Structure 1
C-alpha cells in the first residue's frame, strides 16, 4: 500500500508543477450596433506552452455592471490554441438595447458604464482533461449613440 501512496503523491506533484496555458483579456471594444442589441468584442490572447495544438472546448462569459449581469453566454468549440505560440481569440458579447438603456437611466448623462467581464476558457489538456482558465477584465463601456449606428456602417465599408 505504501508504494501506491508514493506513486499517487509523485503523480500529484508532477501534475501540480505542470505548465498550463495562460490567457489574458487584452481589450474590450464596441463592435457593432443593430436594432436589438449592441455587440462588444473581447480580445483574448492565449499562450500554449506545448508542442501540440490544444482544443478549446468552450468559452463562457458574463458581463456585469452595477452588480447586475447584463449579458451572458457560451461559445461552443471556438477552435484550437496553436502549438508553442500565442493565439488571439475574439469573443463577441451581445447586450440588448433595453438593458443598456435601463443602465443609462440609472447612471446619468455621461453615457459610460463601468463593467466587469468574466470569462471561463475551458481547454482540453492531454492526460489531465478539461481545465478552466478564469479571466476577469474591468473597464468602461461607451454607450452607442444614434450617430454610432450610421458611422459603424460607413467604417465597415472603409475596411
Structure 2
C-alpha cells in the first residue's frame, strides 16, 4: 500500500513539475525621486503568464543590498494580477533612507553611484498548485541623485 502511495506522489510531483509556470525578469532599476527622508528607486519586473486565465499576485517581497548589506526591504501585499496569455509589467518601488546611503559613502565614491543586488520574491496563486514563488535576483549599478537635484 505504501509503495502505491509513493508511486502516486511521485507521479503527481512529476506532472506538477512539467506544468508551465509563469516566468519573470527584472528589466530595469532606475532612480524615481527624492523625498524628505529617502531616495526612491523603481524596479520594473516583466512577468509572462502562459495560462489562459489571469493569475492573482499574492505579494511581492524584496531586499535591496549594497556591499552585501541590506539597505532596504519590504513587502507589497496584493499588487494585482497577471494578464492571461500575456506579459505584465509589475513595478516594485524601493525606498532607501538617507541615513543608510551616508553609511555607504565609500562605495558611492567619486562616481556617485552604488552597486546593488535586488532580490525579489513574486508570490502568485497558481490553480491546483497553490502559492508559488518566482525568485528573482538582479545586480547592477544605480546612480544617486546629485545634491543640486535634492534641493531644487
Q: For the superposition of Structure 1 and Structure 2, which TM-score range results when normalised by the shorter chain?
A: over 0.9
Q: Contact 1:104/1:111 (CA < 8 Å) preserved in 2? A: no
1:74-102: CA deviations, max 9, x gaps?
00000000010010011100000111122
- Measure, in 2, the Cα distance between the counterparts of 1:120 and 1:32: 24
TM-score scaled to structure 2, two decimals? 0.93
**RMSD over equivalenced CA pairs, Å:** 1.5
Which residue pairs with 1:8 in the alignment? Answer: 9
**How much does 1:5 deviate?**
3.5
Gaps of 5+ in 1: 152-159
**Does 2:82 correspond to 1:81?**
yes
Residue 104 of structure 2 aligns to a residue whose secondary structure is: helix
Answer 1 or 2: which has greater helix percent.
1
State the 1:148 CA deviation: 2.5
**Structure 1 outlier segments of 4+, above 4 Å:** none
The aligned runs of 1:35-54 (5 Å cut-off) are 35-54=36-55
Note if contact 2:107-2:114 (Cα within 8 Å) is conserved in structure 1.
Answer: no
**Secondary structure at 1:144 match in 2:** coil
**1:60 corresponds to which residue?**
61
Contact 1:40–1:94 (8 Å) recurs in 2: yes
Q: How does 1:1-159 map to 2 (within 5 A)?
A: 1=1, 2-149=3-150
Kindly tell me: are residues 67 and 5 of structure 1, through their superposed partners in 2, closer, same or farther at Cα, counting changes over 3 Å? closer
Normalising by structure 1, report the TM-score. 0.89
Q: Is the Cα–Cα contact under 8 Å of residues 104 and 113 in structure 1 kept in the other structure?
A: no
Structure 1 counterpart SS, 2:20: coil
